[in-house]
């Protein structure tokens, strides 16, 4: 039986109501659950399922962002909500192609100063091109966000909070920094800070109304949890924004404190038993845990010297001496004639003891790999935005089977190639022996005569590159950008290679062509185009002079087309020397090929051979 405290004097219960009041109060308190705070657990509460119509809207939004990557997603959200459910993507695409100015109104994605897109910092969704902050939101999420913002920013009016939420697609992550700035400008916030003497640097996570603080293993480091808001997506967003960074910081501080304590204990015990080692570089005495050893002569080097050597190699002039490209490791620096290296695990352990050690280790590994690839001489395809590289290998030429061969000829080959193979098939019934001799002679020529084999390999390389396409996806998990292998620009559909170069070349050619047929007065600089008549030009002041020279034919007509062609050639050569005189020949060739077309610099027999190889090769 539970212990019930009794009053000192008087009756226990004066009536039936007094007898039932404690039990009713306890039952009411248990039913209301005021003393129980439901908390969010990131391992139990998963992503909340979207509504069917909301899922269809997000699918359409992801498709439109993939088609028009330069336009802000806000434009697509407005247009998708204004059309019917049937053929949403088709209707919006047609409206953007016909009346883009009406809907876009200057709302384009702004690149950074380098001309590249900013790296994505938003939380990704199931669609690669759509972030959570840009997707359509459910009504439960919008309602929960408004309630959280109302309680967190009490000094702001509800209309201001609604306006900020509407501007940022009801995203709590994007709206909270703006609301914090508005709060600091409010007179209520300033007055409350003066009365309570709070810091004006911004609201901390501990002051958030939906953050619950409870003691952890240690009193000095209490842990935080998120109180349920009614929407699992918002709960996870608050947890990712406020709780997880603090938890990660506490873990790192605890690990650093444990590591420091362990080093102190190990060093003190080593001093007591005389088990200290002398570094052969700085001659300091450290314990065994702070030592790295050479793999040949077992030279003893402390972790501080290893860190300083790696730093000097990365940011100084010591790379050639410190890096061993054959073993892909750090060279031993105890003695100059030592051929050993420090194991990779020891180097990583020495760098990880520092605050930015992981970044230095990653950069050291990337530079070692890059130099090793350059030394190997392998043909590489690199990402223009990071150090990622892939081997650009051309596979061995293999022939198709006869079914795929005739399907390729009938569907994808040019008419000239189709006519050639049809004529060859027709001639086989009459000239079988000569055709077999011709085929054997051609095969022997390509096998035994090196220049002919080189021509065939070049043709197969061009065909393979054309099949492979110009899009290159970076495999670096920190980059994952798509670029063009020809112009090294960020890939955006529809992509045009050397777009800015094309504009400058077109401007230079048009200016030269105009100057070739334009006549200019040498005194008043008046320009005009002569259509007919003589070449004599009358100045505005009294006088006359031939517009060409003193000895030209007065009534002669020059060949304007030839003059334009000559001026265009001169302008193109001058533009190439001016704009791309400092780049390598391969990059210049790719640029000119993209600008003026491949057929202009490719001979007819090369195009014919490429068509035959494309039809035969698998």
User: Residue 451 above 90 pLDDT?
Assistant: no
Which residue, chain included where needed, has tokens 């420091």?
A: 260
User: Residue 251 above 80 pLDDT?
Assistant: yes
User: Residue 142 above 90 pLDDT?
Assistant: yes
User: Residue 204 above 90 pLDDT?
Assistant: no
389 dihedral zone (left: phi>0; alpha: psi -120 to 50; beta) = beta
Domain boundaries defined on the chain: 34-136, 139-273, 278-377
Residue 285, C-beta contacts closer than 8 angstroms, at least 6 positions apart: 276, 277, 278, 279
User: Residue 515 above 60 pLDDT?
Assistant: yes
Question: Per-residue confidence at 615, pLDDT binned at 50, 70, 90?
Answer: confident
Question: Per-residue confidence at 1, pLDDT binned at 50, 70, 90?
Answer: very low
Which residue, chain included where needed, has tokens 């405290």?
A: 5
Question: Per-residue confidence at 178, pLDDT binned at 50, 70, 90?
Answer: very high
Greatest mean pLDDT range, 252-256, 347-351, 586-590 = 347-351
Task: Express each pLDDT in 33-76 by its tens digit.
Answer: 444 567 887 777 666 666 778 888 998 998 898 888 888 899 99
How far is residue 278's CA from residue 281's CA, in Å, rounded to a whole number?
Answer: 9
Task: Express each pLDDT in 402-450 by its tens digit.
Answer: 777 777 777 778 887 777 877 777 777 667 777 677 777 777 777 777 7
Mean pLDDT of the chain: 76
How far is residue 258's CA from residue 247's CA, in Å, rounded to a whole number?
Answer: 16
Q: Provide the CB-side half-sphere exposure for 183 (13 A, CA).
A: 22
SS3 sequence of 293-362: ECCCCCCEEEHHHHHHHHHHHHHCCCHHHHEECCCCEEECCCCCCCCCEECHHHHHHHHHCCCCHHHHHH
The sign of the torsion formed by the CA atoms of 145, 150, 152, 157 equals: positive
pLDDT: is 214 or 190 the higher one? Answer: 214
How far is residue 606's CA from residue 604's CA, in Å, rounded to a whole number?
Answer: 5
Mean pLDDT of 369-377: 87
Mean pLDDT of 522-526: 62
What does the pLDDT read at residue 349? 92
What does the pLDDT read at residue 525? 61
pLDDT: is 104 or 604 the higher one? Answer: 104
Mean pLDDT of 193-205: 55
Residue 97, C-beta contacts closer than 8 angstroms, at least 6 positions apart: none
What does the pLDDT read at residue 202? 47
Which residue, chain included where needed, has tokens 């596979």?
A: 395
Task: Express each pLDDT in 533-584 by its tens digit.
Answer: 565 555 555 544 555 444 454 445 556 666 666 776 777 677 666 665 544 5
How far is residue 340's CA from residue 295's CA, in Å, rounded to a whole number?
Answer: 6
Q: DSSP characters for 98-147?
A: HSHHHHHTT-BPPP-TTSSPPPP-SPB-SSTT-BGGGS---HHHHHHHHH
What does the pLDDT read at residue 531? 58
Cα 133-138-139 angle, rounded to 5 deg: 125
Span of 117-121, 241-245, 349-353, 423-427 with lowest mean pLDDT? 117-121
Task: Express each pLDDT in 261-314 by its tens digit.
Answer: 998 898 899 889 888 899 999 999 998 889 999 988 899 999 999 999 999 999
The answer to whether the beta carbons of residues 85 and 57 sit under 8 Å apart is no
DSSP H/E element including 292: strand 291-293
Which residue, chain included where needed, has tokens 């993939």?
A: 66
Question: Per-residue confidence at 353, pLDDT binned at 50, 70, 90?
Answer: confident
How far is residue 556's CA from residue 558's CA, in Å, rounded to a whole number?
Answer: 7
Three-state secondary-structure class, residue 153: coil
Q: DSSP characters for 190-245?
A: HHHHHHHT--SS---GGG-TTEEEE--SSTTS-EEEEBP-S-HHHHHHHIIIIIHH
Three-state secondary-structure class, residue 435: helix
How far is residue 172's CA from residue 237's CA, in Å, rounded to a whole number?
Answer: 8
Mean pLDDT of 495-505: 68
According to DSSP, the β-strands at 482-484 and 471-473 are antiparallel
Mean pLDDT of 135-161: 91
Cβ burial, residue 596 (10 Å; 0-12/13-18/19+):
middle
pLDDT: is 433 or 482 the higher one? Answer: 482
What does the pLDDT read at residue 32? 44
Mean pLDDT of 190-200: 55
The answer to whether the beta carbons of residues 547 and 537 sit under 8 Å apart is yes
């Amino acid at each position: 039986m539970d212990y019930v405290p009794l009053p000192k004097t008087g009756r226990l219960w004066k009536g039936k109501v007094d007898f039932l009041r404690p039990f009713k109060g306890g039952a009411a308190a248990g039913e209301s659950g005021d003393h129980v705070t439901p908390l969010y657990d990131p391992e139990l509460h998963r992503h909340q399922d979207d509504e069917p119509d909301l899922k269809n809207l997000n699918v359409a939004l992801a498709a439109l962002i993939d088609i028009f990557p330069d336009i802000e997603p806000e434009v697509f959200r407005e247009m998708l909500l204004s059309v019917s459910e049937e053929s949403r993507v088709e209707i919006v695409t047609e409206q953007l192609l016909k009346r883009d100015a009406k809907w876009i109104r200057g709302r384009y994605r702004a690149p950074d100063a380098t001309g590249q897109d900013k790296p994505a910092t938003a939380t990704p969704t199931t669609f690669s091109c759509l972030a959570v902050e840009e997707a359509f939101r459910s009504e439960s999420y919008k309602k929960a966000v408004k309630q959280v913002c109302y309680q967190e920013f009490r000094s702001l009016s509800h209309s201001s909070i609604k306006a900020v939420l509407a501007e940022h697609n009801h995203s709590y992550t994007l709206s909270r920094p703006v609301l914090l700035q508005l709060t600091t400008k409010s007179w209520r916030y300033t007055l409350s800070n003066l009365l309570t003497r709070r810091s004006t640097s911004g609201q901390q996570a501990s002051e958030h109304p939906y953050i619950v603080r409870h003691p952890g293993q240690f009193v000095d480091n209490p842990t935080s949890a998120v109180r349920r808001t009614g929407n699992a997506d918002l709960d996870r967003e608050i947890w990712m924004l406020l709780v997880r960074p603090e938890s990660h910081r506490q873990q790192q501080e605890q690990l650093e404190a444990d590591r420091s304590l362990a080093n102190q204990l190990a060093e003190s015990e080593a001093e007591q038993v005389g088990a200290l080692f002398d570094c052969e570089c700085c001659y300091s005495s450290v314990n065994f845990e702070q030592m790295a050893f050479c793999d040949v002569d077992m030279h003893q080097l402390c972790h501080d010297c290893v860190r300083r050597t790696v730093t000097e190699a990365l940011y100084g002039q010591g790379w050639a001496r410190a890096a061993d490209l054959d073993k892909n490791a750090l060279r031993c620096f105890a003695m100059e004639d030592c051929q050993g290296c420090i194991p990779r695990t020891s180097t990583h352990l020495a760098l990880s003891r520092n605050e930015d050690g992981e970044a230095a280790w990653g950069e050291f590994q990337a530079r070692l790999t890059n130099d090793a690839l350059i030394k190997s001489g392998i043909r590489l395809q690199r990402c223009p935005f990071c150090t990622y590289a892939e081997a650009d290998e051309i596979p061995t030429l293999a022939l198709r089977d006869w079914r795929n061969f005739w399907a390729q000829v009938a569907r994808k080959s040019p008419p000239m190639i189709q006519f050639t193979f049809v004529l060859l098939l027709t001639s086989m019934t009459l000239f079988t022996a000569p055709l077999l001799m011709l085929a054997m002679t051609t095969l022997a020529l390509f096998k035994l005569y090196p220049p002919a084999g080189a021509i065939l390999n070049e043709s197969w390389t061009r065909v393979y590159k054309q099949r492979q396409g110009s899009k290159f996806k970076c495999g670096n998990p920190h980059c994952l950008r798509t670029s063009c292998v020809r112009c090294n620009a960020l890939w955006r559909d529809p992509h045009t290679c050397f777009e800015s170069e094309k504009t400058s070349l077109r401007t230079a050619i048009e200016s030269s062509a105009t100057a070739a047929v334009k006549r200019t007065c040498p005194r008043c600089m008046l320009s005009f185009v002569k259509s007919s008549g003589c070449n004599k030009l009358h100045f505005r002041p009294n006088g006359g002079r031939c517009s060409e020279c003193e000895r030209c034919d007065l009534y002669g007509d020059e060949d304007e087309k030839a003059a334009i062609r000559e001026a265009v050639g001169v302008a193109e050569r001058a533009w190439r020397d001016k704009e791309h005189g400092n780049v390598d020949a391969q990059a210049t060739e790719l640029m000119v090929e993209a600008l003026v077309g491949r057929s202009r610099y490719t001979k007819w027999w090369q195009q014919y051979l490429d068509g035959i190889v494309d039809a035969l090769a698998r």
